[in-house]
Amino acid sequence: MRARTFTESGRRAQIVRAAIEVIAEAGYAKASFSRIAKHAGLSSTGMISYHFAGKDDLLAVCVTEIEKITGAFMGPRIDAAVGHVAQLRAYVESNVALVGEHPAEVRALIDLVKNAGSQSASVNGRIALFEEHFRTGQAAGVFGRFDPRTAALAFTTGLDAVVAIAAAAVPEPAELTRIGRELADLYVRATAPETTGEPA
């Protein structure tokens, strides 16, 4: 019954878009209201304060917006994978591939995650998702024995770093694919069950 959709009102969407682009281009630290307003073609920062409760609010909406986009890209690819291992690989590879499609959004999101840090539900959500994925996979016997939390932490951030470097200077699609597979290989191997060395 609410009139407003998620980002809407035109103005809101416009501001969110500008904020994302500014963060992608100039970095989180430089993403001031005035810079965002200028980028959006607004004459005043008051406009932003009017539409958002504060800077945190705007940034949170940016995160949500970007996640909607990334989710649309990665979600189907992950869902298409069958089994814990394949899904892990799909997550990593599709995340790296995403750079080719939405470099600005990826750059912005990583910067937001780095700076909003542990306050963000979505950041912790992703770690928790990995952790849970590892845990259930271990229960199913498709992952080896390791601390799911430590692995989740190390792998999500490692993934972000690789993606950030790629996003900074987007390489050829083929190279992106290679990098994604390389990283997925590493993670898959790290989490593989112990080979008990059984013969044929």
- Taking the complex as a whole, the smallest distance from the CB of residue 7 to DNA amounts, in Å, to 13
7, 13, 25, 51: which one binds DNA (CB under 7 A) = 51
Contact present, 105 and 20 (Cβ < 8 Å): yes
Q: At what angle do helices 11-26 and 55-80 cross, to 10 degrees?
A: 80
7, 25, 47, 77: which one binds DNA (CB under 7 A) = 47
The 10 Å CB-count burial string (b at 16+, else e) for 110-147 is bbbbeebeeebebbeebbeebbebbeebbeeebbeeee
Q: Which is nearer to its own copies, 70 or 95 (CB)?
A: 95
The stretch among 8-16, 53-61, 68-76, 174-182 that binds its own copies (CB under 8 A) is 174-182
Q: Which is nearer to its own copies, 53 or 72 (CB)?
A: 53
1 sits near DNA (criterion: CB under 7 A): no
170 sits near its own copies (criterion: CB under 8 A): no
189 sits near its own copies (criterion: CB under 8 A): yes
72 binds, among its own copies, DNA, none (CB under 5 to 8 A by kind): none
Whole-number Å distance between alpha carbons of 145 and 143: 7
130 binds, among DNA, its own copies, none (CB under 5 to 8 A by kind): none
Q: Which two tokens stand for residue 124?
A: 């912790």
- Taking the complex as a whole, the smallest distance from the CB of residue 114 to its own copies amounts, in Å, to 6
User: CA distances (Å), 111 to each of 21, 46, 108, 134, in order?
Assistant: 12, 25, 5, 26
